[in-house]
Amino acid sequence: MEMLDNISKGTQKELEFSNKQFEDWLNNLDEEVKKLGRVVKSRKLTATILKLIVVVSGIVIASGFLKDFHIIVQIIGATVLLITAIEKVFANLDLLLSTAAAKNAFNRIRRDVVKIHTKKIGPILGLKETQPEEAARKIIALQSGLIEKLIDIDDEIKTNLENKNHEVLGRLTLEEKE
């Protein structure tokens, strides 16, 4: 975050506040990605284990190894049915897809914010030596605009995650908000 010399105390305080807010929002995006990454990892593990159990059970039943052990075949069949019911009740796949899409959306938004900030900050910093007060105001305006978009998009991502709307999350970008 940029600090400027030769600006009024009020503008300096505004700039410090803007820098802090902007940094906090970038950190928030990073934390969301980490948190959702952990959820994705645990849901993938659960899905993999359940699928392996179903596949192995199906192979054992279809192979006929246990044709003389009807009770074991029935237990295996009931286990497969139970796993299918658990998947439906807890909607692991829907939540996995939505969580992965939300994580990716937060990642995309983070990249978009950095890209926009980087593109727009250069010309502003050109004013740093000749018009520091104007440069500070423009930095504050740039960061305030990005923070406003981040607040809206953060809410949109979380709402779509709550609604398991992974299709929308898969194509969400910051450019749509401009």
For residue 170, what are its two tokens? 């898969």
List the pLDDT tens digit at each of the 178 positions of the chain: 556 777 889 999 999 999 999 999 999 999 999 999 999 998 888 888 888 888 888 888 778 777 778 888 888 888 888 888 877 766 677 788 888 999 999 999 999 999 999 999 988 988 888 898 999 999 999 999 999 999 999 999 998 888 776 666 666 666 655 5
Q: Residue 7: what pLDDT?
A: 86
pTM score of the predicted model: 0.73
Contact between residue 142 and residue 18 where contact means Cβ atoms under 8 Å apart:
no
Contact between residue 121 and residue 142 where contact means Cβ atoms under 8 Å apart:
yes
CA 71 → CA 29, 50, 59, 66, distances in Å? Answer: 52, 22, 17, 9
Distance CA(146)–CA(22), nearest Å, equals 8
